[in-house]
């Protein structure tokens, strides 16, 4: 065998080896800090190698089928490698923002308008390529390019080394056989591991192989396991009993975690110890309905992590915010439960009390499935309230112009287009401080203007004696944290300036903005009170900031484990502010004294806040089930991140993908707790599997209770 022939075969062998090894950049935590992997097993690893080999063998077979000369075949394999490496880089960027592997179901995320995000995101991607060594994903292409140039200089082998048709057919059939064997093995493993759709892409990349999974996913060839298949209800009674085990809308029920008896009528006997309820709204010892008849402003805060209150440098800049919290009931251990839909998923949970599926966006799914879901909006509509959503982005963002009226039933949705029609000039921005001539310019409505708009709309409703439920959605700060109204400042945090990533510093700079926006909601630029009378303000952060590992360590001044970092980044904030008529003075301003104050240090989420609003306002839910615990109670519960399937309880934080990964370390997650949370996730996915499924479940519960 000639030297040229050996180089030729060596090149092909190197193509296989390098492109198989490259898949581990997507699945090993040590090589990809953004991924949340499953435990690596011998069978899974072997199966992934088989699956990846089947795809690459098919590629080589195609090269020999289409091209007759060794030179053309090697060039084809070289550029195929470049394409595969680029796709892996794109997938790693997706990991960076979403923490899980890409799937074709996720492609709906790109339907959202990218105005204002595109440049900043592209810049972060370029920095990711350089700073975090993502260039290593292109190592197979670089090595093969050098190998190709060596062969080119030495001379390509002659045509006689072409494979004959019989061998070519055998190779293709072998590749297909390996593919289907690997597919079957992967599906059997998935059924026994965690058969939940939101983690299937990561499990498949890891145990089926990145190449065969994305190839089959693109063409829709791989089978999916639905929640209904796993639950396998034989009849409506069995289905009703399954949901009733989690239903909290019952006069008496037993909590899974502590075994105590609770009720859908909260009394002072089961509330947190530091709760204060003003006598003007308290009805004896019964807390049910104490806010009945009041208006609601439900404020969606963008990307606020709780660690901003735990770090001394950032917390001292939240002066007004902390004073507002002093007059509020604050959820101090509140966690995000979003999935791939991120902000829209947070909206779904807060408005319906349901978990999102995690791997797709119901807001876009609603175009295909006409969902009928219980919602706060419908309950307020039934009480004669005017329901109004206000958002500073385009109406098509997350399909809100369709979802808000058709899914939730909002009477009105006021978006960027409406603001512009009323005279808002996006290019000129919003002058939020006339005295200092400070103007906020961004592609969206400034949240300063949003704050002023909330007050004016509320006053208009009150003057017309119209009870209202308003749902204002803050636009910023939003990754990649551009359009700071105070400019791209440096030197704000000198202790972090040289050691933190640029995007982290930009996020920290937004702390001033958070504080000023909170102040603007209740005090206008002239220092006058603009708190709405007879109105309750409920605030919740949709999700965390998505900052990178390492920078969080600096904020806490110690090294955090991977799981502790994930927990910190999933911990957000929620609070309830019930302003009274008296004032409390802080510094050079006064705010209304809160009629409901205290701190909740037990785990809570949007699902729990949904129930809390229902019961505090005595909304007309009838027998409709809901699944959260009351925010003011001492009842324990759990929160599940529906994208990564990280679960948090009052005792520990752990990964459903790999229960050995916990915070604190080395605690044992009992099988009972694991199965209880897993079953609820399956039931939640089941509710969203068909447009009328929640209606069917509600009816089944009523029939068989």
d(CA 688, CA 437): 49
pLDDT in tens, 322-362: 999 999 999 999 999 999 888 999 999 999 999 999 888 88
Peptide bond into 276 cis (omega under 30): no
pLDDT of residue 566: 92
pLDDT in tens, 534-585: 999 999 999 999 887 678 999 999 999 989 999 999 999 999 999 999 999 9
DSSP string for residues in 176-245? HHHHHHHHHHHHHHHHHH---GGGHHHHHHHHT-HHHHHHHHHHT-S----HHHHH--SSHHHHHHHHHT
- Is pLDDT above 70 for 385? yes
pTM comes to 0.93
pLDDT band at residue 220 under the 50/70/90 scheme: confident
d(CA 412, CA 548): 38
pLDDT band at residue 644 under the 50/70/90 scheme: very high
Phi, psi of 563 (to 5 degrees): -70, -40
d(CA 244, CA 661): 31
pLDDT band at residue 117 under the 50/70/90 scheme: low
Helix, strand or coil for residue 159? helix
pLDDT of residue 219: 85
pLDDT in tens, 38-84: 999 999 999 999 999 999 999 998 888 888 888 999 999 999 999 99
Angle of helix 511-522 versus helix 502-509 axis, rounded to 10: 20
pLDDT in tens, 240-271: 999 999 999 999 999 999 999 999 999 999 99
Residue 312, C-beta contacts closer than 8 angstroms, at least 6 positions apart: none
- Is pLDDT above 60 for 197? yes
Mark out the alpha helices in 620-670 (DSSP H runs): none
pLDDT band at residue 225 under the 50/70/90 scheme: confident
Phi, psi of 646 (to 5 degrees): -85, 135
pLDDT in tens, 587-603: 889 999 999 999 999 99
Query: Which one has a higher pLDDT value, 532 or 487?
Result: 532
Of 674, 561, 656, nearest to 100 by C-alpha is 656
Over range 460-487, report the average pLDDT. Answer: 93
pLDDT band at residue 410 under the 50/70/90 scheme: very high
- Is pLDDT above 60 for 143? yes
pLDDT of residue 293: 97
Q: Give the pairing of strands 535-541 and 276-277.
A: unpaired
- Contact assessment for residue 73 and residue 67, using Cβ atoms and an 8 Å cutoff: yes
How far is C-alpha 310 from the geometric centre of its chain's CA atoms? 22
pLDDT of residue 501: 85
pLDDT band at residue 174 under the 50/70/90 scheme: confident
d(CA 687, CA 680): 11
Helix, strand or coil for residue 66? helix
pLDDT in tens, 281-327: 998 889 999 999 999 999 999 999 999 999 999 999 999 999 999 99
Helix, strand or coil for residue 568? helix
Q: Spell out the long-range contacts of 254-260 with Cβ–Cβ below 8 A and sequence spacing 24 or more.
A: 255/629, 255/635, 255/636, 255/637, 256/676, 257/636, 257/637, 257/638, 257/649, 257/650, 257/673, 258/635, 258/636, 260/635
How far is C-alpha 483 from the geometric centre of its chain's CA atoms? 22
d(CA 386, CA 374): 17
Element (H, E) at 422: none
Over range 694-704, report the average pLDDT. Answer: 89
d(CA 626, CA 649): 19
CA quadruple 19, 23, 25, 28: dihedral sign: negative
Q: Which residues are paired to 584 by β-bridges?
A: 591
Helix, strand or coil for residue 471? strand
- Contact assessment for residue 11 and residue 151, using Cβ atoms and an 8 Å cutoff: yes
β strands within 400-462, DSSP E? 412-414, 430-433, 438-440
d(CA 300, CA 472): 6
| Distance (Å) of CA 65 to CA 60, 162, 171 | 9, 10, 11
Domains of the chain: 3-225 (no CATH), 237-644+682-704 (3.40.720.10)
- Contact assessment for residue 597 and residue 564, using Cβ atoms and an 8 Å cutoff: no
- Contact assessment for residue 517 and residue 277, using Cβ atoms and an 8 Å cutoff: no
Write down the residue that tokens 């390019």 correspond to.
145
- Is pLDDT above 70 for 88? yes
């Amino acid at each position: 065998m000639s030297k040229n022939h050996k180089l030729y075969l060596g090149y092909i062998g190197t193509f296989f080896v390098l492109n198989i090894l490259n898949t581990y950049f997507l699945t090993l935590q040590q090589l990809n800090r953004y991924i949340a992997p499953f435990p690596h097993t011998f069978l899974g690893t072997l199966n992934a190698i088989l699956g990846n080999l089947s795809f690459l063998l098919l590629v080589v077979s195609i090269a020999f089928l289409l091209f007759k000369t060794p030179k053309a075949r090697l060039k084809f394999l070289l550029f195929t490698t470049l394409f595969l490496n680029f796709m892996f880089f794109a997938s790693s960027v997706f990991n960076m923002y979403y923490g899980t592997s890409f799937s074709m179901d996720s492609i709906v995320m790109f339907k959202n308008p990218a105005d204002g995000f595109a440049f900043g995101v592209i810049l972060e991607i370029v920095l990711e390529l350089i700073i975090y060594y993502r260039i290593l994903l292109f190592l197979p292409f670089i090595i093969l390019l050098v190998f190709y140039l060596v062969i080119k200089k030495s001379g390509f082998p002659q045509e006689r080394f072409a494979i004959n048709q019989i061998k070519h057919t055998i190779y293709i059939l072998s590749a297909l056989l390996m593919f289907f064997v690997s597919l079957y093995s992967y599906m059997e493993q998935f059924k026994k591991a965690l058969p939940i759709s939101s983690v299937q892409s990561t499990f498949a990349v890891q145990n089926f192989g990145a190449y065969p999974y994305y190839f089959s996913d693109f063409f829709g060839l791989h089978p999916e396991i639905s929640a209904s298949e796993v639950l396998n209800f034989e009849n409506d009674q069995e289905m009703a009993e399954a949901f009733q085990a989690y239903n909290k809308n019952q006069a008496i029920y037993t909590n899974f975690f502590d075994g105590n008896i609770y009720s859908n009528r909260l009394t002072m006997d089961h509330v947190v110890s530091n709760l204060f309820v003003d006598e003007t709204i308290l009805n004896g010892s019964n807390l049910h309905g104490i806010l009945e008849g009041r208006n609601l402003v439900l404020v969606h805060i963008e990307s606020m992590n709780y660690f901003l209150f735990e770090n001394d440098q950032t917390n001292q800049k939240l002066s007004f915010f902390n004073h507002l919290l002093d007059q509020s009931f604050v959820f101090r251990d509140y966690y995000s439960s979003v999935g791939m839909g991120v902000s829209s998923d947070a909206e779904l949970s807060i408005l319906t009390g349901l978990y999102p599926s995690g791997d797709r966006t119901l807001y876009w799914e609603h175009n295909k499935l006409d969902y009928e879901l219980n919602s706060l909006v419908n309950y307020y509509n039934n009480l004669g309230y005017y329901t109004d959503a206000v958002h500073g982005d385009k109406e098509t963002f997350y399909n809100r112009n369709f979802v808000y009226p058709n899914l939730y039933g909002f009477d009105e949705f006021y978006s960027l287009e409406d603001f512009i029609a009323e005279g808002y000039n996006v290019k000129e921005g919003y002058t939020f401080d006339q005295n200092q001539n400070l103007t906020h310019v961004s592609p969206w409505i400034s949240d300063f203007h949003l704050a002023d708009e909330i007050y004016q709309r509320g006053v208009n409703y009150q003057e017309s004696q119209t009870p209202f439920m308003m749902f204002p959605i803050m636009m910023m700060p939003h990754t990649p944290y551009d359009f700071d109204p105070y400019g791209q400042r440096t030197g704000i945090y000198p202790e972090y300036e040289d050691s933190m990533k640029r995007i982290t510093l930009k996020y920290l700079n937004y702390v001033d903005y958070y504080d000023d926006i909170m102040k603007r909601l209740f005090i206008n630029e002239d220092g006058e009170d603009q708190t709405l009378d007879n109105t309750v303000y409920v605030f919740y952060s949709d999700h965390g900031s998505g900052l990178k590992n390492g920078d969080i360590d600096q904020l806490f001044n110690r090294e955090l484990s991977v799981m502790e970092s994930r927990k910190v980044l999933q911990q957000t904030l929620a609070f309830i502010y019930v302003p009274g008529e008296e004032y409390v003075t802080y510094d050079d301003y006064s705010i209304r004294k809160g009629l409901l104050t205290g701190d909740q240090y037990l785990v809570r989420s949007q699902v729990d806040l949904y129930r809390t609003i229902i019961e505090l306002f005595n909304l007309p839910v009838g027998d409709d089930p809901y699944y959260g615990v009351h925010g003011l109670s001492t009842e324990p519960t759990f929160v599940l991140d529906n994208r990564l399937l990280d679960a948090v309880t009052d005792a520990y934080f752990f990964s459903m993908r790999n229960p050995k990964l916990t915070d604190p370390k080395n605690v044992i997650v009992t099988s009972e707790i694991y199965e209880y949370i897993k079953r609820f996730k399956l039931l939640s996915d089941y509710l969203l599997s068909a447009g009328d499924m929640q209606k069917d479940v509600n009816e089944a519960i009523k029939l068989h209770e």
